[in-house]
Amino acid sequence: MMNRELISIVLPVFNESKNLQLVYNEILKVIKNLEHRYSFEIIFVNDGSMDDSWKIIQEIAFSDDRVRGFSFTRNFGHQLALMAGYDHASGAAIISMDADLQHPPHIIPSMLDAWKNGAMIVYAKNSTIGRSSLKSAASDFFYRFFDKISTFSIPKHVQDFRLIDQKVCQALRQFNERSPYLRGMVAWTGFPSKVLEVDFKQRAYGKSGYSWVKMIRLAFDGITSFSLVPLRIAFYLGLLIIFTGIGMFTYITIDAVFFDVRYPLFKWLVTLIYICIGLLFSLIWLLGEYTGRIYELVQCRPRYVLLDSVSECKQTQFISLRHSVEARDKAL
Ligand code: UDP
Ligand code: MG
């Protein structure tokens, strides 16, 4: 068996001791049928679990050389655990999935096929989302809001179950985000993508590591890392205050000049102070714009991402052209 491409499977783990062996067995079943074409590495990243997850990962890794494990000192969060997996993944394609059996591994062959057919990002979309819960309604609202305020959109109901090409992974590694929002980062890179529908399952054991607080924090990370629109709130507020203030000022001026109404001094002052508050808001917005630009700078994202370049193609074309010319010369 030669030259099989390496595929990495990355699983972030937080208190999944009961699920680890199960998910590992499920993955084994699936990759067994793919071993004629691909070789695999499975990377578990233990995100400061309080149970025996790390012990189990070590046991699995000792018994199978395809398995690698990394353990954080404490709980850094799902996104950073995934990022650590991406940092260590050397596969030509990298698949990320939950370690709780919510993401069925049986879709891996279709993901690999889609990748072979040119998709550099393959999302697995949850087709059972019809069951409405408060969390899924909140996530729906979030994605709709995100679409409005950012310059690109994230496919809905995909979670972090996806395949990415090594090229995408290299682009992600160039980001310098402290609180990465991977779903956004992956979509932002803009590589050709495909969405596959699959039924997500209920987690096998244990409870979700995503509390409402963690979910809201993730949504906030998503918005603040990809949009400067919240900074512009001060601008719109400032504009509103300035215009209503000018309206008020004009009203009392007309009253005073044409209708001889005598306004006490404090009313004039209040109106002027009101307009000044609007000006202050606009200046806060201006500060925000500069801060936003500095923020974008320190994120150190690649400014653009290359999909391909024609210079390489030209060279291969040139070589094949030369070969065909040589072949023709020989034939003559
Ligand atoms: N996870 C993690 N760190 C955390 C929370 C979760 O590494 O702080 C892992 C968890 O073990 C699982 C994946 O991230 O493999 C997704 O988390 P979870 O299943 O709890 O979230 P849900 O699927 O409920 O959104
Ligand atoms: Mg889960």
Q: What residue's CA is closest to ligand 1, atom 22?
A: 208
Of the candidate ranges 23-27, 267-271, 322-326, the one whose mean pLDDT is the lowest: 322-326
E strand or H helix at 94:
strand 93-96
Q: For the whole prediction, is pTM greater than 0.75?
A: yes
State in Å: Cα 102 to ligand 2 middle: 6
* For the CA of 44, the nearest ligand: 1
pLDDT of residue 40 exceeding 90: yes
* pLDDT at residue 134, rounded to an integer: 82
State yes or no: pLDDT of 194 exceeds 70: yes
Which of 72, 40, 36 lies closest to 57, judged by CA? 72
For atom 23 of ligand 1, which residue has the closest CA? 208
CA 156 to chain centre: 12
Q: Is 75 in the pocket of ligand 1 (CB under 6 A)?
A: yes
Burial class (CB in 10 A: 0-12, 13-18, 19+), 331: exposed
Which residue's C-alpha comes closest to atom 3 of ligand 1?
78
Contact 72, 85 (CB under 8 A): no
In the predicted structure, residue 319 carries a pLDDT above the cut 80:
no
User: Ligand 1 within 6 A of 127 CB?
Assistant: no
Closest atom of ligand 1 to 77 CA is: 8
Where along the chain do its domains lie? 5-226, 229-298
pLDDT band at 277 (very low <50, low <70, confident <90, very high): very high
Mean pLDDT of the chain: 91
CA of 161 to the centre of ligand 1 (A): 12
Tokens at 39, concatenated: 């070789």
**Tokens describing residue 74:** 């404490």
Best residue among 22, 78, 182 to mutate for probing ligand 1, ranked by most atoms within 8 Å of CB: 78
Q: What is the pLDDT of residue 328?
A: 60
| Interval 84-104 mean pLDDT | 97
Terminal Cα distance for the chain, rounded: 40
Task: Give the residue, by CA position, lying nearest to ligand 1 atom 17.
Answer: 209
Residue carrying structure tokens 């808001």: 281
Closest Cα to atom 5 of ligand 1: 209
Q: Which fold has domain 5-226?
A: Spore Coat Polysaccharide Biosynthesis Protein SpsA; Chain A (3.90.550)
CA-nearest residue, atom 24 of ligand 1: 208
Verify whether ligand 1 is closer than 6 Å to residue 100 (CB atom). yes
Q: Cβ(101)–Cβ(76) under 8 Å?
A: no
pLDDT band at 253 (very low <50, low <70, confident <90, very high): very high
- Kindly identify the ligand whose nearest atom is closest to the C-alpha of 14: 1
